[in-house]
Structure 1
């Protein structure tokens, strides 16, 4: 099964660490990152999709971050 996650966070080094951690666990970048201004907080937010091929069967309660 191909698992999909969308990682999001404020535009800080913490976001880069979140993506780097996912890559170190076998996730692969999927597409380009996205940036948007969050008017509620006044900060820029980042998003990056990642995918990973896993030996699992999809079910809604599956914790994707634990794959």
Structure 2
């Protein structure tokens, strides 16, 4: 089964830590990161897609992707 996640958040160390933690759990970057500017909050928002291949498991909607 192939899993997909999309992280979003402010362009800060915490965002990088979240992506780094996922990479260290076997997730892989998928595509280029995205950036946008939130005018109301006056900050840059990042986005990064990640994918992970999990063998021997069938997908069900109740899978907690944050635990994979």
* TM-score (structure 2 length as normaliser): 0.90
Which structure is higher in strand share? 2
- Does residue 27 (structure 1) correspond to residue 27 (structure 2)? The answer is yes
Residue in 1 aligned with 2:47?
A: 47
Give, in whole Å, the separation in 2 of the partners of 1:14 and 1:64.
Answer: 19
Q: Number of paired residues?
A: 67
- Where do 5+ consecutive residues of structure 2 fail to align? none
- Where do 5+ consecutive residues of structure 1 fail to align? none
Residue in 2 aligned with 1:3?
A: 3
Residue in 1 aligned with 2:59?
A: 58
Q: What is the RMSD computed on CA atoms of the aligned residues?
A: 1.0
Where does structure 1 differ by over 2 angstroms across 4 or more consecutive aligned residues? none
